[in-house]
Structure formats: C-alpha cells, structure tokens
Structure 1
Amino acid sequence: MRHTPYVGSGPYCYANSFAMLLGEHAPSTAVIEVATGGPFGMQLVGGKTVFFDAYGWNPELGFDQALAAIGWTSTVSAGGDAAQALARLADAAAQGPVWVGPLEMGHLRHHPELTGPIGADHFVVVLDVTEQRVLVHDPHGYPYVQVPVDDFLAAWRAETVDYGDPYTMRTDFRMVAEVADADAIRSIVPTAIRRLSMRAESTMPPGSLGNGEAAERVAQMVEAGAGDGLREHLIYFAIRVGARRLSDTADCLLLAGYVEAAEIAAAQARLVGSMQHPMVVRDFPAAAAALRELAPTYDRLHAALVRPQPGTP
C-alpha cells in the first residue's frame, strides 16, 4: 500500500507549541516531532504504561536536540515557588509569547470533563498574565483560552507528570542557522539508531520493556482484557499520537533519502493506526495481532538506518 502523508488534528502539543514560537521560519511540525528522536521505538514503562516512542525516552530529552537539528536555540528556566514562577512568567510574557511545560493536563479545566490530575503531560504557549488569569494558545484546540491563575499554577507544578521540573518555560528563541528539513532529519539518524538500540539515558522502572518485547507483552495485556486503564490510554492517546508520529517519520525519512527506512516506518504507522477501531469495539484479538506484527519492525528499522541508503550523503 502506498503511504499517504497525514494532515489533521492530533495530540502534538509540544511540536505545535514550538511551531507557534518559531513563527514564519518554523519547519513543519512533522520535522520538529521526528527531530526529538521520540518516534524510534516502543516502550512499556514499569510493565504498565505503553507508549509508541523510544525506550527510556520522554519529550524533555528531545527538545534541545530537536531545536539544534533545525537550527534554533532557546533559554530554559525552571523552579522557584509559585509566586516567583508566576512573576517570571509575567515578565517574560510581557516581552512576547512563552513556551511552557510540562503541565498536568488534568488541571486545565477548559478541557471538558477534566477536573483533576490524570498524569498527562501538556505544553502551551502563554500570551499574557494578569492577577486573575493566564491567556494561552492551547494547541489541543483552544486558541486564546483564559486559564484561572490557580488552575494554571497547579498544572505547572506538574507534580503528577513523571519527568521535568516544576515551572519550566522557554524563552528567547533564536535562529542560529538555516537548516534544510532533509539535513535536519539526516542529523538525527545517529540518535534514531541509538534509540532503536534501547540505550536509555535514565534508569527505567522494574518491569520496563522496549521494542519487540514491549509489543509482545502489550499484546498479551490486550488479550487479557486491556484492564487498569490500558484500553482508555490506548484509544484516547497512545494510538493516536503513535500512528501520527510514525506517519510523519515515514515522510521525513523519505525526504532525507532513507527510502527503505521510510517504508518500514509507514508500515509501523499502519499497524499502530489499525488498532484504534478494534480497541474501541473491544476486538482485542485483532489489536493483539497488529501488535505482534509490529514487534519485529523495530529491528528492521534499526537495520535499515544503519545500512547506507542510496541517495544519502
């Protein structure tokens, strides 16, 4: 089947937020997302939570790498107490938009039906700060939304997000080099190979698995009924973002000249995306079969990236 690039909505909060800050010079969100190194692998964290992203990876590990790959830099600040953080944010927002996160999404009550922490990370662009509210562009579909200060600060503490520091934000975005999209993707191929090799930069919780082993174990969990929130996590987030990332990865690898690797990533995207309907209607055997077909593709993608491809420098 021929791969068709995807254009549409999806949970791409940090890539969309970066694109807003970079403005007219921003590459596509696909390039930003793939440049983080996140799409290259699969992980089952602590034997419980599955993500279709690299073993041992979290978004924060890829941000500076992505910016460097596309020729940008920024200034990061974090910490302090709530009052200090709010003052720092207000000062920065007075100079221009501010990239903020991770936030605990569950505290952002403009999202319908969210009333408290759910352990989900999120990123937004802050436009203005007053004593009562924080004005943000929320890339999950809410431009110019007003968030009460107390709710925003509770979200920004990120106490229930399993990575990052409280009150983290980025300012002073500067373009330091003009980098073609294809060159940006070529520059992160060594990182992609390392990620697919499961060389985690941090200690993983006991029971964690990656790539093919993760896919097989999640298949078993799905066959057992996908309990303990696994079904909901998959249908509302993990499948959506996983299939989107892999579709974008196929597009980016093809642009960079990695034709064989692009075909494998496209096949991965189709397999992950094919799980959505079965999981929603509880056809667990079909979803498990897709996971088992997905399992060997990570080794294939690693081999394709290691092998020099015709047309690449």
Structure 2
Amino acid sequence: MQHVPYVGSGPYCYANSFAMMFADAAPSPAVIEFSTSSPFGLQLIGGSLPFFDPYGWDPEAGFEDALAALGWTSQVSTGDDAEDALSRLRSALKDGPVWVGPLEMGHLRHQPGMTGPIEADHYVVVLALDAKRVLMHDPQGYPYAALPIGDFMAAWSAKTLTYGEPFTMRSSFSRVAEVSEVDAIQASIPAAIHWLSMVTDRPMPPGSLGNAEAAEALAARIEQGCDKGLRAHLVHFAVRVGARRAADAATCLKRIGFAKSAAVAGEQAQLIGALQYPLVLRRDAEAAEALRRLAPTYNRLLFALRGGD
C-alpha cells in the first residue's frame, strides 16, 4: 500500500510546543519529531511498560540533537524550589513565550477528567503569568488555557514522572542557522542509527528490553492477559503516538530519497496503527500477532539506514 502522510490530532506535545517557539521559522512537527529520534525503536521499560520509541530514550534525551539539526539553540534551566522557579519563569516571560516541561498531565485541570497525578508527561508553551494564574498554549488541544498557579506548580514539579528534573524550562530560543527541512532530516540520520542500534549508557530498570525482544515480550504479555492499566496506556497514548511517529518517519525518509528505509517505516506505522482496534475490542490474539510481525522490522530498518539506502 502506498504511504500517505498523516495530518491530524495526536499526542505530539513537545514537537508542537517547539513549533510554537520557532514561530514563523518553524519546520513541520513531523520534521521536529523525526529530529528527536523518537520513531527509531521500541522499548519495554522494566519488562512491563511499553513505548514506541528507542531503548533508553526519553523526550529530553533527544532535544539537544534536535535543536542542533534544526539550526536552533535555547537556554535550559531546571531545579530550584517552587518559589524560585516561579520567579525564573516570570523573568523569562519578559522576553517572550517559554517552553515548559515535563509536566504531570494529571494536574492540568483545564483538561477534562484530570483530577490528580496519572504519571503522564506533557509539555506546554507558557504565554503569561499573573498573581493567580498561568496562561498557556496547551498543544493537547487547548489554546490560551488558564490554570491556577497552584495546579501549574504541582504539575511542573514533575514528582510523579519517571524522568526529567523538576521545574524545567527552555527560553531564549535563537536561530543560529537557516536549515531546510530536507537538510534537517538528513542531519538527523546518524542519531537515528545510534538510537535504533540500542547503544546507550543511560540506566535502565532491570528486565528492560528493546526492539524485537520488546515486541515479542509485549505480544506474549498481551496474549496472556492484558490488564486494564496496560490496555489504557496503549490505546490512549502509546499506539497513537507510535503509529504517528513511524508514519512521519516514513514521510521524512522518503523526502531524502531513502526509499527502502521509508518503506520499512511505513510498514511499522501500519503494524502499530493496526493494534488500536483489536486492543480496544479486546481481541488480544490479533494484537499479539501484529506485534510479532513488527518485531523483525527494527533490524531491517537499521540495516537500510546503515546502508544509506
């Protein structure tokens, strides 16, 4: 089947937030996401928590490489107590919007159904701050959302997240080179190969698996009994973002003439996307079969990328 680029909603919070910070000079969110290397792998953290992204990767691991490939720099700051962090944010806002995260999404009570921590990360663009509230563009679908400062600071402390420092923000975005989207994609290939190779010195919990082994283990777990928490994580987040990442990877690879790599990434997108229906309908044997078909594609993609197509 011919690959068709995806355009639509989805959990692309940091790519969309970066695009807002880049303003008129922003590349497409697909190119931003590609440059973070997020599409290149599958990990099963601790043998139980799946993400369709590289082994040992988290969003912060890909940010600096992405900015460099895109021709941008920014100033990142973290830590301090809540009062100092709020002062730091207020000062940075004098020069324009500020990119903030990771946040605990469960404290973002402007989103329906959010009443407390759900151990889900999120990124937003803060626009203004007064004595009572924070005004932000929330790329989950809430432009100009206002949130009481107390809720925002609880989210920003990131206490319930598995990665990231509390009170992290990026400001002073500066474009240091005019880089075309094609050149940015090309510049991101070495990082993609690195992450797909599962070469990382980042600590991982015991039992963690990557790529083919992760796909096989996840298939077995779903087949043996997909618990409520795992199913919710997959159908509400992991499958949606994983399929979109792979679809965007296929689109980007095709743009630079990597036809073989693009074909494999397109196949991955279809296999990951095909998980949604059977998981929602609890047809778990079908989902497990799709994962087993996905397993060998990671080595195939690595081989194609290493060969330069």
Q: TM-score, normalised by structure 1?
A: 0.97
Alignment of structure 1 residues 130-279 onto 2, 5 Å: 130-227=130-227, 229-279=229-279
- Of the structure 1 ranges 175-184 and 16-25, higher mean CA displacement relative to structure 2 is found in 175-184
Alignment partner, residue 129 of structure 1: 129
CA offset digits 1:85-132 (Å, max 9, x no partner):
111111111321100000000111111111111111000000001111
Total equivalences in the alignment:
309
CA offset digits 1:57-92 (Å, max 9, x no partner):
000010111010010010101111101111111111
Q: How much does 1:201 deviate?
A: 3.1
Separation (CA, whole Å) in 2 of partners of 1:212 and 1:168: 33
Separation (CA, whole Å) in 2 of partners of 1:190 and 1:142: 35
CA offset digits 1:198-233 (Å, max 9, x no partner):
112301100100000000000011112211511000
CA offset digits 1:139-169 (Å, max 9, x no partner):
0000001111000000000011111111000
Alignment partner, residue 13 of structure 1: 13
Separation (CA, whole Å) in 1 of partners of 2:224 and 2:130: 50
Alignment of structure 1 residues 86-101 onto 2, 5 Å: 86-101=86-101
SS across alignment from 1:224? helix
Separation (CA, whole Å) in 2 of partners of 1:251 and 1:39: 12
CA contact (8 A) 2:10 2:241 kept: yes
- Of the structure 1 ranges 244-253 and 89-98, higher mean CA displacement relative to structure 2 is found in 89-98
Alignment partner, residue 120 of structure 2: 120
Q: TM-score, normalised by structure 2?
A: 0.99
Separation (CA, whole Å) in 1 of partners of 2:95 and 2:75: 14
**Amino acid across the alignment from 1:124:** V
SS across alignment from 1:123? strand
Separation (CA, whole Å) in 2 of partners of 1:19 and 1:201: 29
Structure 1 segments (4+ residues) deviating >3 Å = none
SS across alignment from 2:225? coil
Separation (CA, whole Å) in 2 of partners of 1:228 and 1:283: 14
Alignment partner, residue 303 of structure 1: 303
Separation (CA, whole Å) in 1 of partners of 2:136 and 2:191: 33
Alignment of structure 1 residues 10-89 onto 2, 5 Å: 10-89=10-89
Separation (CA, whole Å) in 1 of partners of 2:256 and 2:103: 33
Separation (CA, whole Å) in 2 of partners of 1:180 and 1:145: 32
Q: Tell me whether 1:102 sits opposite 2:92 in the alignment.
A: no
CA offset digits 1:44-65 (Å, max 9, x no partner):
0001110000000000010111
CA contact (8 A) 2:73 2:174 kept: yes
CA contact (8 A) 2:159 2:166 kept: yes
**Amino acid across the alignment from 2:122:** H
Separation (CA, whole Å) in 2 of partners of 1:165 and 1:82: 13
Separation (CA, whole Å) in 2 of partners of 1:41 and 1:172: 31
**Amino acid across the alignment from 2:251:** D
CA contact (8 A) 2:95 2:172 kept: no
**Amino acid across the alignment from 2:102:** P
Separation (CA, whole Å) in 2 of partners of 1:230 and 1:8: 25
Separation (CA, whole Å) in 1 of partners of 2:127 and 2:276: 35
Separation (CA, whole Å) in 1 of partners of 2:132 and 2:270: 45
**Amino acid across the alignment from 1:224:** Q
Separation (CA, whole Å) in 2 of partners of 1:201 and 1:120: 24
Q: How much does 1:308 deviate?
A: 2.7
**Amino acid across the alignment from 1:40:** F
CA offset digits 1:222-268 (Å, max 9, x no partner):
11221151100000000000000000000001112211000000000
